[in-house]
């Protein structure tokens, strides 16, 4: 059975899904996206993702193409049609296909392109990587200045992953002015004593939906949350480190630029935060 995807109002088999070659998402990366995880056939933190989608669109002078309730219905329909128990729903909204290429935005009544598809990932929550931890290298952060908007301009993050792979590592942390901004596709944290340290929100990083939930749970668990930037050297001397994202939840980091953290195995705080996050989010899933 082929995957059923959503394209501009229609549910179609993936082979039949079509988007115009003039689509500004294709020509100019003029679009935004969200990734929502599915656990036990239910959506994790859908409200957070819908709110951030609206913010990303607003920052780029686009309107929500439909209500959050209608978006939720499409997410659920795709989960049902594709029988997803664990996996992700990818959603992308672009400024549409005005019929020619032009740097200027098309007329406001140009319909936005809305595409959603499922990614089936059995075992997503029980990931072997979470038991082993991941290694990261540092690379310069040369992305644009509005990283708070979740755009589809993902070339540099992709290149970062490839640089990490070539160096024998799992992922890269991006460094600007000597300070870690975030991971290629996740927010970055270090742990020192009872403190969880992560960069404060600004236009320099994506405002992670997982980050917001994890920091709330950390405070509830009497951890001290400190929102400030840190250096690679500080990370290498930390007790532990981790990253968060909607699709990897809380992922322990066990080495930074070749230096093992602690005993080189996932830290206690990262493991605990992963457990709390998964428990609480499963309970709240819709």
Active site residues: 150
> Could you tell me the smallest distance in angstroms from the CB atom of residue 214 to ligand PMP?
9
274 lies in the site for ligand PMP, by CB under 6 A: no
> Could you tell me the smallest distance in angstroms from the CB atom of residue 141 to ligand PMP?
10
211 lies in the site for ligand PMP, by CB under 6 A: yes
Among 206, 235, 241, 253, binds ligand PMP (CB under 6 A): 206
- The maximal CA–CA distance of the chain, rounded, in angstroms, is 58
Q: Distance between CA atoms of 122 and 175, rounded to whole angstroms?
A: 33
Q: Which stretch binds ligand PMP (CB under 6 A): 7-15, 82-90, 133-141, 207-215?
A: 207-215
182 lies in the site for ligand PMP, by CB under 6 A: yes
Among 92, 138, 244, 255, binds ligand PMP (CB under 6 A): 244
> Could you tell me the smallest distance in angstroms from the CB atom of residue 268 to ligand PMP?
22
Nearer to ligand PMP, 4 or 206 (CB): 206
> Could you tell me the smallest distance in angstroms from the CB atom of residue 101 to ligand PMP?
27
Q: Which stretch binds ligand PMP (CB under 6 A): 17-25, 164-172, 183-191, 265-273?
A: 183-191
187 lies in the site for ligand PMP, by CB under 6 A: yes
DSSP-derived pairing of the beta strands 249-256 and 259-260: antiparallel
Sequence-separated (6 or more) residues with CB below 8 Å from residue 118? 3, 4, 5, 38, 78, 79, 82, 84, 87, 88, 89, 90
CA distances for 71 relative to 23, 26, 45, 112, 122, angstroms: 21, 22, 13, 14, 24
199 lies in the site for ligand PMP, by CB under 6 A: no
161 lies in the site for ligand PMP, by CB under 6 A: no
> Could you tell me the smallest distance in angstroms from the CB atom of residue 115 to ligand PMP?
17
Specify the residue for token string 């250096």: 231
Among residue numbers 3 through 42, which ones bind ligand PMP (CB under 6 A)? Answer: 35
**Site residues, ligand PMP (CB under 6 A):** 35, 182, 185-187, 206, 208-211, 244-246
């Amino acid at each position: 059975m082929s995957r059923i995807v959503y394209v501009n109002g229609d549910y179609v088999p993936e082979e039949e899904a079509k988007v115009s070659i003039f689509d500004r998402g294709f020509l100019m990366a003029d679009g935004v996206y969200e990734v929502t995880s599915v656990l036990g056939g239910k959506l994790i933190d859908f409200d957070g993702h819908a709110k951030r989608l609206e913010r990303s669109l607003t920052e780029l002078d686009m309107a929500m193409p439909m209500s959050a309730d209608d978006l939720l219905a499409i997410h659920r329909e795709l989960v049902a049609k594709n029988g997803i128990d664990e996996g992700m729903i990818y959603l992308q909204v672009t400024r549409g296909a005005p019929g020619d290429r032009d740097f200027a935005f098309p007329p406001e009544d140009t319909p936005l392109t809305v595409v959603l598809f499922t990614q089936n990932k059995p075992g997503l929550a029980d990931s072997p990587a979470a038991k082993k931890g991941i290694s990261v290298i540092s690379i310069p952060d040369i992305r644009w200045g509005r990283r708070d908007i979740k755009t589809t301009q993902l070339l540099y993050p992709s290149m970062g992953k490839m640089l990490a792979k070539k160096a024998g590592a799992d992922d890269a942390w991006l460094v600007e002015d000597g300070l870690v901004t975030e991971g290629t596709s996740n927010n970055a944290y270090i742990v020192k004593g009872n403190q969880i340290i992560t960069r404060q929100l600004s236009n320099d990083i994506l405002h992670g939906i997982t980050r917001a939930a994890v920091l709330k749970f950390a405070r509830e668990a009497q951890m001290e949350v400190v929102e400030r930037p840190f250096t690679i050297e500080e990370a290498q001397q930390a007790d532990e480190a981790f990253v968060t994202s909607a699709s990897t939840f809380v992922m322990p980091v066990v080495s930074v630029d070749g230096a093992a953290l602690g005993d080189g195995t996932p830290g206690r705080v990262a493991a605990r935060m992963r457990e709390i996050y998964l428990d609480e989010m499963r309970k709240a899933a819709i």
